Amino acid sequence: MMLEGHDESFNENPKANGEVSLGTTIMAIRFDHGVVMAADSRTTTGSFIANRVTDKIYKVTDNIYCCRSGSAADTQAISDIVKANLTVHSLELGQPPAVNTAAKVFRSMCYKYRDQLSAGIIVGGVDSTGPHVYSIPLGGSVVEQPFSIGGSGSTYIYGYCDAHYRPGMSKEECIEFAKSCVALAMSRDGSSGGLIRLAVITPDGVERQVVTGIEQ
Amino acid sequence: MAALGVGYDLAATTFSTDGRLFQVEYAGKAADNSGLVCALRVENGIVFAAEKLMHSDLLVPSWGKRIFTINDKIAIAISGLLPDARQLVTRARDEAANYKSQYGRVIPVSVLGDRLSLFMQMYTMYAAARPFGCSILLGGVTDGKPELFLIEPSGLKRGCYGMAVGKGKSKQEARNKVETLVDTLPTMDIQRGVIESAKIVLCLHDEDEDRHMELEVSALAADMDHAVFTAEQTEQITNLARGELDAEE
């Protein structure tokens, strides 16, 4: 079973005792006119790294991306369905979909099939009301946040994020913040590693970046 | 005209030799067979006025509603077979609610119009079902901008500045009156729109043929949820409208 950044305990049916730790380190931060999405690039099957250059930042629409954590198969399947759904929706609407619409569609799948899925998703994008970040953890709840971290690696950086996040950071500050958060998580979490991939979404378009090696 | 339909008008699934669906056209005639209903797209909203023909003094005044709220910012006024139209109103309410639940945003009026026109069109393709015998005037505000559509039994949806549907002669005359207003509609406010639409309905009401009528008026705007006016408000509107009509004569 291909899992993005999972540790061994998942293979022993952790759902039976309620313990599922999502692999990966993913995050998204909102700044005044856009969103920075960041993720590591490790996909594991048990302790074998199946893909060390994975792209966990998936394009849902031109203006909305999502970061995927949990089961690779589950998140890929959900993302594909949501992308198809939103494509038709935006054709009918005559304009790009709103980020909260994308979050709502993701949520409806994640909640409806919560017992069969293992998917933690962060949705980020820019629409006519501005930039937005929505976190959809296991179970299918939705919460909008100024920044969101997810995956098994995120547990190691909660303190760092709380200490160093300031509202009103510029785009460049957010990019540096995202890189350092993901790098720190990758250096402590065995299920996260490889490259740091970034996507910077603004009304002018999306810029993808890659950071090789671990900084700091 | 009737002779042309012989043989080709028995089922909605049969085209005539000149490419027409007679059953759908007959449904269109059923759609005109009711009191006049008129809607205007004004600067920041939509106004509706309907002529409720009360065929008997035994009927309570609130009977025979022809204007229905779909959600706060969308309403439908109906013409033709009222029971058929109520089915469409229910469908519209469900579509609007499901859209909101699924996509987290209020359904745009033209999207709802597409859903309803597809729904009505479906009933023109099967021999086992008949077309809807009603037309609907669908009006609402999307992102602050008002939109008005006429949807006919064939499923054809048309965007309008203003529109009237109803009994034969008065329909054409009403449409002529609406045409005279078209240039002023983009800058008309809701209050004026209400009076103008009421004037059209009251003026064309045939006192001899349908003696007892009730006026039903409603409005919605970017800053005002859809509401059908109360009896008191409708009376005030009627008096104002009649006053202006008398003055014009």
Express each pLDDT in A64-85 by its tens digit.
999 999 999 999 999 999 999 9
Q: Which of A88, A89, A90, A109 to mutate to probe the B interface, most B CBs <10 Å? A: A89
CA–centroid distance for B117 within its chain: 14
Residue at token pair 């179970």 = A139
Query: For residue range A160-177, what is the model confidence (pLDDT) as tens digits?
Result: 999 999 999 999 999 999
Q: Is A59 a member of any domain?
A: yes
- Among B103, B108, B111, whose Cβ lies nearest the Cβ of A104? B103
- Tell me the nearest-neighbour CA distance from B107 into chain A, angstroms: 9
> Which helix H or strand E contains B214, and what residues bound it?
strand B213-221
Q: Look up residue A196 and give its two tokens.
A: 């740091």
Contact flag A98-B104 (C-beta cutoff 8 Å): yes
Chain A environment of B108 (Cβ under 8 Å)? 93-94
Contact flag B104-A100 (C-beta cutoff 8 Å): yes
Radius of gyration of chain B (CA): 18
Judge contact between A167 and A146, C-beta under 8 A.
Answer: yes
Chain A environment of B103 (Cβ under 8 Å)? 89, 97, 101, 104-105
Gap between the Cα atoms of B137 and B135, Å rounded: 7
Q: Is the dihedral of CA B27, B52, B174, B190 positive or negative?
A: negative
Q: Which of A93, A111, A144 to mutate to probe the B interface, most B CBs <10 Å? A: A93
* Packing angle, helices B109-122 and A72-93, rounded to 10: 90
Q: Look up residue B49 and give its two tokens.
A: 């006025």
Q: Which of B103, B105, B106, B111 to mutate to probe the A interface, most A CBs <10 Å? A: B103
Residues of the domain holding A88: 18-211
Query: For residue range A102-140, what is the model confidence (pLDDT) as tens digits?
Result: 999 999 999 999 999 999 999 999 999 999 999 999 999
Quickly state the pLDDT bin for B89 (edges 50, 70, 90).
very high
Contact flag B104-A101 (C-beta cutoff 8 Å): yes
Decide if pLDDT at A8 tops 60.
no
pTM of the model: 0.84
Residue of B nearest to A109 (CA): B102
Q: Is A3 a member of any domain?
A: no
Q: Is A4 a member of any domain?
A: no
**Going by DSSP bridges, is the β-strand pair A26-31/A3-4 parallel, antiparallel, or unpaired?**
unpaired
- Tell me the nearest-neighbour CA distance from B175 into chain A, angstroms: 30
Between these two residues, B85 and B208, which has the higher pLDDT value?
A: B85
With pLDDT > 70 as the criterion, what percentage of chain B qualifies? Answer: 98
Number of domains chain A contains:
1
The least confident of A45-54, A83-92, A118-127, B93-102 is: A45-54
Decide if pLDDT at B136 tops 90.
yes
- In this structure, how many other beta carbons lie within 10 angstroms of the beta carbon of residue A155? 16
Q: What does the pLDDT read at residue A115?
A: 96
Q: What does the pLDDT read at residue B5?
A: 61
Quickly state the pLDDT bin for A18 (edges 50, 70, 90).
very low
Gap between the Cα atoms of B159 and B5, Å rounded: 30
Indicate which CATH number applies to the domain containing A111. 3.60.20.10
Query: For residue range B49-61, what is the model confidence (pLDDT) as tens digits?
Result: 999 988 888 888 7
Does ipTM exceed 0.85?
no
Decide if pLDDT at B177 tops 50.
yes
Decide if pLDDT at B67 tops 50.
yes
Gap between the Cα atoms of A128 and B147, Å rounded: 20
Mean pLDDT within B62-90: 93
Q: What does the pLDDT read at residue A50?
A: 86
Assign residue B147 a region: left if phi > 0, alpha if psi is -120 to 50, beta otherwise? beta
Judge contact between B223 and B44, C-beta under 8 A.
Answer: yes
All domains in chain B, ordered by first residue? 2-244 (3.60.20.10)
Chain B environment of A94 (Cβ under 8 Å)? 108
Q: Which residues of A are catalytic?
A: 24
Contact flag A98-B105 (C-beta cutoff 8 Å): yes
Query: For residue range B224-248, what is the model confidence (pLDDT) as tens digits?
Result: 999 999 999 999 999 999 999 999 8
A83 part of contact set with chain B, CB < 8 Å: no
Q: What does the pLDDT read at residue A5?
A: 57
A187 part of contact set with chain B, CB < 8 Å: no
Q: What does the pLDDT read at residue A214?
A: 52
- Among B104, B111, B114, whose Cβ lies nearest the Cβ of A104? B104
- Tell me the nearest-neighbour CA distance from B114 into chain A, angstroms: 9
Residue at token pair 């600067």 = B43
Gap between the Cα atoms of B68 and B1, Å rounded: 35
Q: What does the pLDDT read at residue B57?
A: 83
The mean pLDDT value of chain B amounts to: 92
Query: For residue range B155-166, what is the model confidence (pLDDT) as tens digits?
Result: 999 999 999 999
What phi and psi, each to the nearest 5 degrees, are found at residue A128? -65, -15
Interface size between A and B, measured as CB pairs under 8 A? 21
Decide if pLDDT at A16 tops 80.
no
- Tell me the nearest-neighbour CA distance from A94 into chain B, angstroms: 10
Q: Look up residue A44 and give its two tokens.
A: 């594991």
Q: Is A13 a member of any domain?
A: no
Quickly state the pLDDT bin for A97 (edges 50, 70, 90).
very high
Residue at token pair 């994640």 = A110
With pLDDT > 70 as the criterion, what percentage of chain A qualifies? Answer: 88
Q: Is the dihedral of CA B4, B8, B12, B16 positive or negative?
A: negative
Chain A environment of B111 (Cβ under 8 Å)? 92-93
Residue of B nearest to A89 (CA): B103
Gap between the Cα atoms of A154 and A70, Å rounded: 13
A104 part of contact set with chain B, CB < 8 Å: yes
